[in-house]
Amino acid sequence: MYHYGLIGDMSSAALVGTDGSVDWCCLPRFDSPSVFAAILDEDIGGRFRIAPTGPCTETRQEYLPDTNILETVFTTDSGVVSVTDFMPISDDDEDGSPDEAPRTPPEIHRIVTCRAGTVDLRCVFQPRPDYARATPRFRPHMSAPAGRAIEVSGGRQPMTLLGSIALPFDDYGVACDFVLSQGEQATFVLAYGHGRPAGLERYRTAERLEKTRRYWQTLVADMDYEGLWREQVVRSFLVLHLLMYRPTGAIVAAPTASLPETIGGTRNWDYRFSWLRDTSFTVDCLYRLGDAYGADRYIHWLLEQCQLHRTRTRIVYGIHPDSSLKEYTLDHLKGYENSRPVRIGNAAAEHIQMDVFGEVILSIHSLQLLHGQIPDDAWELVHSLAETVMASWRRMDRGVWEVRGEQQHFVYSKVMCWAALDNAAYIAAAQGERQFYRRWSLTADTIKTEILDEGWSSTKGAFRQRYGSDALDASNLAIPFMGLLERDDPRIRQNVDAIERELTDGPLVWRYLPGETDDGLDGQPEGAFTLLSFWLMGNLIYTGQTDRAMDYFHEMITKCANHLGLFAEMYEKSSQRQLGNFPQAYSHIGLIHTALNLSGYIADTPTRRRHRIRPN
């Protein structure tokens, strides 16, 4: 398992381990170079650790209720000490233009409190800017009292570490020992940017902790959810908000890069960007939870991006106008548990994936269902994307999994092209655009006919991964959610039964069999894909197997999440460990939708607003 909690301020984020170490943080944005990357190279990556110097008899990590404020509690033979970690955020932090600097540059606040006895502690601060390619330089802040503020330069990522104790340093960073007795505290603040104040009191840690607590708790209090598994739903909801880039509304797939899908393998990708597929499902999720503000902000960003790139809608975008998605490797980093290469950027930005049009139009359809109407620019986008699908749906692509082999006629892509035109037709009807309703509906019917003819394998009794092959693909678990088939169509049950036979082990689901798929990675194995476990549960609900779905849901949240309820992209049963980037938005989207759907069926009430089960 990844023994980490995530903190953040909706501009950047940091992973804090159960050992008290910040092992991943990029500043000032999610997609900026790292300043701490020990998770990718424990020797040179850089870290910021505060922990007892001696052995601990117990370590516990948890979030303060309904917040993203993390607390790590260490119990030693001599006493008990806690470290409270947060990145400040409050209601009066304004959402601004992406071209404007944040109102307050990012900060990490760490409050160390002795709860009992006396504890010897050590603070190790070793930033390594620019993915550990730059050499940091340390010097005391000229106006700091008693050496309690250290300035760091190098790699164009200036920062200042401040402490309530003296901070001795050398060429490697800060290392200091200190002792706390019951009731005593020590405070540390890492402040990003030039010209930060030297006095710790200027950072108002206690006041900003309270503001940050109120911000998160108010967000949760406004959430519309009365179903089962509230704790898990709240945590997933808060994770999704940590993955939002607040200045624009973009949502990153994960805050990390190159955490491997196979230990020692090469499936190591950078997920600090906004995939239209992932975030379109996030929008639906936020609407279902009553967070129209967060969802509407993403829709605004989506419309803006698609307007800027109208000639070619991409599958993934940077979160900021100057974001770079160019893919390259960092050969000086050894990778997580020696999993190389470490990749930065993502070449998937250049892929052709026909499914993305359907997912974008679905998100706009959700907007229409919520508000009863859509703005003119949203209708213009629907029209543009639907016409693109009309002209291009017969093209081959790289599929939902972004394979790096040859392009194929992937069935999931065809299904989403159908969904694009089917939903666009309904939107057109609501807009009074009858000619487009008829035009798009006719082509949607043509695509559906082809899918049912070319996409169904009578040999397997299931939908194919791609035309001309009997290989299966778990992405086709999404077909019932799209409404392609009537609810009582036997092919729905046959399809899920076949996928369960070939691609599952209990609730765990593999995307496809690597030996049957040209993904450009020489058949390397990978973990089970967490989102697909929730899609499987959706199919079980859909086919009347709700008890099995309940059992699988319980198994996932108790065995496949980490100690804080956070999910990675994948899970490996043999080693009982998480794999891939962490935490993964897609996984938490699946959890929320499944909890909503199960709660709705258990309560024998509609699952709200749409007649179909939502995509998990």
pLDDT of residue 98 exceeding 50, the answer is: no
The pLDDT of 303-331, averaged and rounded, is 82
Task: List the one residue out of 463, 424, 467 whose CA is nearest residue 443.
Answer: 424
Which two structure tokens, joined as six digits, stand for 296? 């509407």
- Cα–Cα separations (whole angstroms), residue 565 to 30, 235, 283, 584: 22, 7, 21, 12
- Which phi and psi angles does 562 have, rounded to 5°? -85, -170
d(CA 154, CA 209): 29
DSSP 147: G
Which two structure tokens, joined as six digits, stand for 584? 């993964």
Under the banding of pLDDT at 50, 70 and 90, the label for residue 310 is low
* pTM for the predicted model, two decimal places: 0.94
The pLDDT of 227-249, averaged and rounded, is 95
Task: List the one residue out of 297, 166, 192, 171 whose CA is nearest residue 240.
Answer: 297
More confident residue, 525 or 83: 83
CA torsion angle for 88, 239, 230, 215 (degrees, to 10)?
Answer: 20
Element holding 421 (H helix, E strand): helix 411-430
Task: List the one residue out of 373, 513, 386 whose CA is nearest residue 440.
Answer: 386
More confident residue, 539 or 95: 539
Q: What is the predicted pLDDT for the residue at 331?
A: 97
Q: What is the predicted pLDDT for the residue at 292?
A: 84
Which residue pairs from 467-470 have beta carbons closer than 8 angstroms and sit at least 24 positions apart in sequence?
Answer: 467/408, 467/409, 467/411, 468/409, 469/516
More confident residue, 370 or 190: 190
d(CA 127, CA 136): 7
Mean pLDDT estimate for the chain? 91
Under the banding of pLDDT at 50, 70 and 90, the label for residue 604 is low
Which two structure tokens, joined as six digits, stand for 291? 């967070």
CB 424 within 8 A of CB 399: no
Q: What is the predicted pLDDT for the residue at 606?
A: 46
Query: Of 72-76, 247-251, 494-498, 602-606, which gets the smallest average pLDDT?
Result: 602-606
pLDDT > 70: percent of the chain: 94
More confident residue, 349 or 93: 349
Query: Of 398-407, 505-514, 558-567, which gets the smallest average pLDDT?
Result: 398-407
CB-based contacts of 259: which residues, under 8 Å, 6+ apart? 2, 39, 268, 336, 568, 579, 580, 581, 582
DSSP 410: B
Under the banding of pLDDT at 50, 70 and 90, the label for residue 367 is confident
Q: Write out pLDDT tens, residues 594-603.
A: 999 999 887 7
Can you give 310-328 as a three-state secondary structure string?
A: CCCCCCEECCCCCCCCCCE
Q: Write out pLDDT tens, residues 137-151.
A: 999 998 777 789 999
Q: Write out pLDDT tens, residues 30-68.
A: 999 999 999 999 999 999 999 999 999 999 999 999 999
CB 225 within 8 A of CB 289: yes
Q: What is the predicted pLDDT for the residue at 179?
A: 98
Q: Write out pLDDT tens, residues 426-477.
A: 999 999 999 999 999 999 999 999 999 999 999 999 999 999 999 999 999 9
Q: What is the predicted pLDDT for the residue at 101?
A: 42
Q: Show the domains of the chain with their CATH numbers.
A: 4-217 (2.70.98), 222-602 (1.50.10.10)
Measured at the alpha carbon of residue 99, what is the angle toward residues 94 and 102, in degrees to the nearest 5?
35
More confident residue, 370 or 495: 495
CA torsion angle for 484, 487, 491, 496 (degrees, to 10)?
Answer: 100
pLDDT of residue 102 exceeding 50, the answer is: no
d(CA 199, CA 148): 8
Under the banding of pLDDT at 50, 70 and 90, the label for residue 282 is confident
Q: What is the predicted pLDDT for the residue at 91?
A: 63
d(CA 503, CA 518): 17
